[in-house]
């Protein structure tokens, strides 16, 4: 009996014992996997897939295809030429069994492409890392004193400069004389607004 399976955007006609080179799968050598996208089993055609059918296989190894050279040379472009090599990553599998029905209850790991198997993990990790510095910055400013960014014209960078100059609260900023204070360029409007916020 034979089956037609779909993986990696390609279709393969297989039977038990066949060895295939398919697009890279998220599996290690020796793992048992199951292809669930079956288009045809024996004389049964799918619409588009055969329900409950599956093809089980054993991963032999992860390999690379032969190198493909792409060479581009343009005429009359003053020696414009480019040479590139590429080796496609593949997975070598041996077909062990073809199931006409009951593949969904077999308990064998589904064959997943390497890109689709690893894509979600990196996407979730950076979000947590990005949130941590913001939370740390807020905690740092809360521990240091008042939130000086509430004053019009004072942003996070200016607040950092004011904290470095020793101004951490509205009361500290209200005491500053803009004409004589040299550490940071303080505007008179900031001092007036700090006086109202300090009350």
Residue-level pLDDT at 137: 55
User: Token pair for residue 189?
Assistant: 């409007």
Is pTM beyond 0.85? Reply is no
Q: 79-123 pLDDT, tens per residue?
A: 777 889 999 999 999 999 999 988 888 889 898 888 764 443 444
User: Token pair for residue 66?
Assistant: 């032969």
3-state secondary structure of 56: strand
Q: 126-174 pLDDT, tens per residue?
A: 455 555 565 555 555 445 578 888 888 888 888 888 888 888 888 888 8
Tell me the longest C-alpha to C-alpha distance in the chain.
Answer: 93
């Amino acid at each position: 009996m034979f089956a037609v399976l779909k993986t990696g955007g390609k279709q393969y006609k297989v039977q038990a014992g066949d060895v295939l080179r398919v697009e890279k799968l998220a599996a290690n050598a020796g793992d048992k996997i199951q292809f669930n996208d079956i288009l045809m089993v024996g004389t049964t055609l799918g619409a588009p897939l055969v329900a409950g059918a599956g093809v089980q296989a054993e991963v032999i190894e992860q390999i690379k295809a032969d190198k493909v050279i792409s060479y581009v040379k343009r005429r009359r472009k003053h020696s414009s030429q480019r040479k590139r090599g590429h080796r496609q990553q593949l997975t070598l599998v041996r077909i062990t069994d073809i199931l006409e029905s009951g593949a969904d209850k077999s308990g064998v790991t589904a064959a997943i492409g390497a890109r689709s198997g690893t894509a979600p993990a990196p996407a979730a990790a950076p979000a947590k890392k990005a949130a941590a510095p913001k939370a740390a910055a807020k905690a740092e400013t809360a521990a240091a004193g008042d939130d000086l960014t509430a004053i019009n014209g004072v942003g996070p960078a200016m607040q950092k400069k004011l904290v470095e100059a020793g101004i951490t609260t509205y009361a500290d900023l209200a005491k500053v004389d803009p004409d004589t204070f040299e550490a940071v360029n303080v505007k008179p409007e900031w001092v007036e607004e700090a006086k109202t916020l300090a009350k």
